Amino acid sequence: MNLYKAVILIILLLPHTGLAQEIDCTTTVNDFELADCAQLEYESADKELNTQYKKAMLKLPSSKRLELKKAQRSWVHQLSKECTEENRESEGGTIWRAEIAWCLKEKTEKRTKIINEWVINQSALTHHSSGTPNGAP
């Protein structure tokens, strides 16, 4: 993805806070409202991910925090790229912004689950055995 497309993606995904908060997402009538609602859903998922990530960082020993931090940075770097690629067919269409936001939401929810499961596994390894821990998520 070139710089131009990255900038366009960021602009398209900027929250339309005033507009989106006035929309009843249960009765959206057009692609623009749908995109605003999808963006709100993604923002909610991202907020939950950030909360769980912070909790994970507090629970893990320092060596595992560094591992998680590196893995998370790598994941964040790939996120927009993957969603843009997966939705290339609708690029430029009115539904594209919603599809990107849904993709981001889905991947973010999966990431939250992965981090939570990894922290549980790391805790189990720390408390129950001296085996080799799993790699970072």
Domains and CATH numbers, the chain: 30-109 (1.20.1270)
Each residue's pLDDT tens digit, 41-70:
999 999 999 999 999 999 888 888 999 999
The residue among 4, 3, 6 whose CA lies nearest residue 84 is 6
Each residue's pLDDT tens digit, 111-131:
999 999 988 887 766 554 434
Token pair 């409202």 is found at 33
Residues with Cβ within 8 Å of residue 115, at least 6 apart in sequence: 49, 52, 53, 56, 68, 72, 137
pTM over 0.85: no
Distance CA 114, CA 119 (A): 9
Sign of the C-alpha dihedral, residues 84, 85, 86, 90?
positive
Amino acid at 84: T
119, two tokens: 């922290």
Q: Which long-range contacts (CB under 8 A, 24 or more apart) does 83-87 make?
A: 83/107, 84/1, 84/5, 84/9, 85/1
